[in-house]
Structure 1
Amino acid sequence: MDSIQSKFRDLLAEKGIHLSDRQLDQFETYYKELVEWNEKMNLTGITEREQVYIKHFYDSLSVAFFVNMEEKKMVADIGSGAGFPSIPLKIAFPHLHVTIVDSLNKRIQFLNHLCTQLQVSDVNCLHGRAEDVARNKAHRDQYDLVTARAVARLTVLNEFCLPFVKVQGHFLAMKGSEVEEELQEAGFSLKELRGQLLHTYRMELPEQEASKRHLVLIQKGSPTPAKYPRKAGTPLKMPLIKQ
């Protein structure tokens, strides 16, 4: 274990997340695979090792600062890209059953390869649009926790993600430094999709300038109405905003 991993482990320990040597090895494998595959396809603009550990791994695990992951089992990650936040969460909390939905098949191929290299099980990587997958009974209203990290504006994310959440389950949107305008804009979509804003958590990444993050926690009160989500592409083109 070098200084970067040691600091990573200590920062997480301060938040009550304790990583074993095997888990640290998995994160290092993740870093190496990410950088190697990034040369072939665009997975991330961040490749410097310490930055990956903080801006990707630590940032992903910040979900567990505000949500009790021991109480969650079924997790869906929508538009996961290179596996954030779901794969770091799976490493830190091996009991999780994770479903990842991404519209780009190359990213799904990377994630399947990564899971093999990490030797993790119970991770299902699905190639498809969130609007289409959410129509499948196997995924609709099924998940304890659904995550999305900086994929789209909140009013769009609500339609992408809340259909996956089971009743009384949670959707956590990981956003950047500005979130107030999005929260105001998203009120109508929350009502339509049976979501209730519980809390907006604010955090900063350690030792990073301009690193403010907001995590928006939403609870689902009843099943998704049959008309949602609308057909693929519509939520982005015509967001649910009260006219």
Structure 2
Amino acid sequence: MSKIFEQKLNEMGIQLSERQYQQFNNYFELLIEWNKVMNLTGITEYEEVNEKHFVDSLSVVKAVDIGSIETVMDVGTGAGFPGIPLKIAFPHLKVTLLDSLNKRIKFLDTVISELKLEDIHTIHGRAEDYARKEEYRENFDLVVSRAVANLSTLSEYCLPYVKTGGLFIPYKSGEIEEEVKNAETALKILGGKKRKTVKFQLPGSDIGRTLLVVEKIKSTGKKFPRKAGLPAKEPLK
């Protein structure tokens, strides 16, 4: 177990059992092993993975009371960030991981199986398609994403999954004021309202992180999200 990792989590008020630390270690090992044959991450050094993937994923605790959240969806999860670290650290969460690449889904299913995680499942497909399915639409307390996309596009991918009264929190870095301003219309159209922006540095580092907290104040219109490809090609303005 890394004392540095433990210290950084403690700084965020997160305390884990020995088993949970072991799960993080196993996750790291699987990530590195699978990364040899497919592109999961450019970050492979142990402490760096702990900091830039695990601690960063868990930093959402600075923006929301995780104890009050039951269901989480991670859109464009990639190698499982932030969804799997959140599930390991907060076992009460029911987590859904969505990604469009089947190879990544196979990796995620292996991690879930090896770590013996329960109440977490993967879906393979595009955000625009699954948001039309009754069992997923407006069904989540919290939707998160570390995917790289502008806020207008990301909001159209994510807000249809958030239940009214729930939250959408995209992980951003640097100054996002202009991006937020450009997305105001999209948020309004999709039923969201910006509640706050939380800026901080990851514990013990100079890595800046910005979390935008968007509350779902009304149901998303049935015509959203638009068909696959359109949210990225023609963001709502």
Same fold (TM over 0.5): yes
Among 84, 96, 101, the alignment partner of 1:87 is 84
Residues of 1 paired with 2:226 and 2:27: CA distance? 35
Q: Which runs of 4+ in 1 moved over 4 A?
A: none
CA distance in 2, matches of 1:150, 1:82: 11
String of CA shifts for 1:113-167, please: whole Å, max 9, x gaps. 0001111011110000000000000000100000011421101010000000000
**1:51 & 1:29 partners in 2: Cα distance?**
15
User: How far apart are residue 65 of structure 1 and its match?
Assistant: 2.2
Please list every run of 5 or more consecutive structure 1 residues that lacks an aligned counterpart in the other structure.
Answer: none
> How far has the Cα of 1:16 moved from its partner?
1.4
Counterpart residue identity of residue 99, structure 1? T
Query: In structure 2, how many angstroms separate the alpha carbons of the residues matched to 1:6 and 1:197?
Result: 37
Report the residue type matching 1:82 in the other structure: A
How far off its partner does 1:223 sit? 1.1
Structure 1 contact 150–175 (Cα < 8 Å) conserved = no
Give the match's secondary structure for 2:95.
strand
Distance (whole Å) between structure 2 residues aligned to residue 9 and residue 158 of structure 1: 33
- Mapped pair 1:219 → 2:215: yes
Amino acid at match of 1:151: V
Q: Which SS does the other structure have where 1:200 is aligned? A: strand
- Unaligned runs of at least 5 residues, structure 2: none
Matched residue, 2:234: 238
The 5 A counterparts of 1:1-243 are 1=1, 5-209=2-206, 211-241=207-237
Q: Which AA in structure 1 matches 2:191?
A: R
Q: Is the 8 A contact 2:170 2:211 kept in 1?
A: yes
Contact 1:197–1:217 (Cα < 8 Å) also in 2: yes
Letter in 1 for 2:217: G
Answer whether contact 2:72 2:93 (CA < 8 A) is retained.
yes
Indicate conservation of the 8 Å contact 2:76/2:147, yes or no: no
Amino acid at match of 2:102: N
Determine what percentage of the aligned residue pairs are the same residue: 51
Corresponding residue pairs, total: 237
In structure 2, the CA distance between the partners of 1:150 and 1:101, relative to structure 1 (3 Å rule), is closer
Specify the SS of the correspondent of 2:8. helix
Cα distance in 2, alignment partners of residues 58 and 130 from structure 1: 25
Q: CA deviation at 1:178?
A: 2.5
Kept in 2, the 8 Å contact 1:150–1:176? The answer is: no
Deviation digits for residues 55-88 of structure 1 (CA, Å, limit 9, x no counterpart): 0000000012221111111100000000000100
Q: Judge conservation of contact 2:138–2:160 (CA < 8 Å) in 1.
A: yes
